[in-house]
Structure 1
Amino acid sequence: MILFGTSRIARSVELSCERLYMQFCDSRLDATTEKLFERLEGELRGVDELRLTDSAWLAREDLRQWLEPLLVSVRARGGRVTFLRAPASDRTGFRRTM
């Protein structure tokens, strides 16, 4: 499981961009990137709110190219995507909602 925080009541989840980045790098080494994002897509089905924590980890263009279609899918279902610059352990960081 990639997601680290879920709320079944509000159907909101948090995704650690740092953790995603590390798994993405690993998947590039063993050619499992497609499987990684298929799994993430499955975990995001039915989500109303997705909070991406420590979003500075999304600086790599190739990672964003894989992630963006999933964000579009969440929004297309009426969901909300929020980018949090601070890691989950530090909620004092800048917050941006798209």
Structure 2
Amino acid sequence: MSYRIVKIHLDKSKPEMERSITKIQLSDGTIENVSDVVQYINDELIYYFKTIEGETAVVNVVYPSQKKGYQPPYICTENSRKVLNGHNMMDLPRF
């Protein structure tokens, strides 16, 4: 099953980047925490969004290096630089 992300919510205490996304809103209005989305992607559900150019972009999970202490996994855009001309989830509206 696949789920379309239409909006993102950021942790305002962190720099504006994909790892600062704390919640997402789906096309049906459902709001999900990133920690849940990480688990769902690991369970092989597909999350995606549409770029401003109409391209479909798949969302992946990143597991940061733990060299500087624990950092939770986060979601990011798959191949954003190569495939999507640098577009990523940060282009989505905020809520």
Q: TM-score surpassing 0.5?
A: no
Q: Relative contact order, CA 8 A, sep 6+: which one is greater?
A: 2
Higher strand content, 1 or 2:
2
What TM-score results when the alignment is normalised by the length of structure 2? 0.33
What TM-score results when the alignment is normalised by the length of structure 1? 0.32
